[in-house]
Amino acid sequence: PSDPVVSARIENIRKSGGNPFYDYQIPQAAIALKQGFGRLIRSRSDRGVLALLDNRITKQRYGQVFFDSLPDYRFTTRIGDVEKFFNV
C-alpha cells in the first residue's frame, strides 16, 4: 500500500500473527461497499441496483463478508430481474 498508515497497520497485524488480508483489507473493503450502497439508497422512495461484477464475491470464502455488510436487499444473478426492476 502507498499509504504509510495502512502499511503500518498491515505490518502490525502481520507481526502479531494475523492475516492482513482477512483482518484488515476485507473489512475495509466491506465498509466501502456498504458506504457506496448507502449513497445509492438514501430514502424509502429511492430505487437502485448494485451490480457486483467480480465473481470473487461468490467464489471466494471472504465474499460472504460483503453480502453480510449490506442492509436488506434482493439478490439475483439474472439480468432479466434487473430489467424488470427498471421497467416497473
Position 59 scores a pLDDT of: 94
Split into its structural domains, the chain has a count of: 1
pLDDT of residue 11: 96
49: cell is: 441496483
Say what the pLDDT of residue 37 is: 92
Boundaries of domain holding 53: 4-87
66 in Cβ contact with 57 (< 8 Å): yes
pLDDT of residue 85: 92
Q: What does the alpha-carbon distance between residue 54 and residue 17 come to, in Å, rounded to a whole number?
A: 29
pLDDT at residue 2, as a whole number: 86
Q: Tell me the three state secondary structure of residue 3.
A: coil
pLDDT at residue 31, rounded to an integer = 97
Predicted confidence at residue 27, as pLDDT, reads 97
For 68, list phi and psi in degrees, rounded to 5. Answer: -70, -20
Give the pLDDT score at 70.
93
pLDDT averaged over 10-residue windows placed end to end, the chain, 88 residues: 92 97 96 94 89 93 94 91 90
* pLDDT reported for residue 61: 92
